[in-house]
Amino acid sequence: MIGLILMVIGGIIAIIGGIGLIRFPDVYTRTHAQTLSNVGGCCLILFGVFLEGFYSIFSIKALFLIVFIFLTAPIGAHIIAKAAYKSGIKPRVVRDEWKKIKK
């Protein structure tokens, strides 16, 4: 039962992240929404799968996927944001912290 609740909450977070991808104005806030839906939504769904099929091969696969997503999604979002910044897309912020860092 707890696994099903986690899967529903993960699905809701994934839907909210998808709406954020559509609604947010620039690439930097969109990468935030993408990472939220990836890490928050996907990992909660996979953790629910892990709890529902505790003694099966699916639980082991779900656990490996959770670790893989936790390791790769934030790195990918950082790379996308850094590439957008280096290509000249300006962030919509008051103060640009990356200007101080040498390119």
| pLDDT tens readout for residues 26-43 | 888 889 888 888 888 999
pTM of the model: 0.79
Closest alpha carbon to 86 in 27, 25, 33, 32 = 27
Q: Which residue has the tokens 């934030």?
A: 74
Question: For residue 67, which amino acid is it?
Answer: V
| Rounded Cα–Cα distance for residues 27 and 83 (Å) | 10
* 42 touches 69 (CB < 8 A): yes
pLDDT at 42: 92
What number of other Cβ atoms are within 10 A of residue 68's Cβ? 11
Q: Place 4 in a pLDDT band, splitting at 50, 70 and 90.
A: very high
Q: Could you tell me the residue ranges of all domains in the chain?
A: 2-94
* Cα–Cα distances in angstroms (integers) from residue 67 to residues 9, 49, 59, in the given order: 19, 14, 13
| Rounded Cα–Cα distance for residues 79 and 85 (Å) | 10
Q: Quick one: what percent of the chain has pLDDT higher than 90?
A: 45
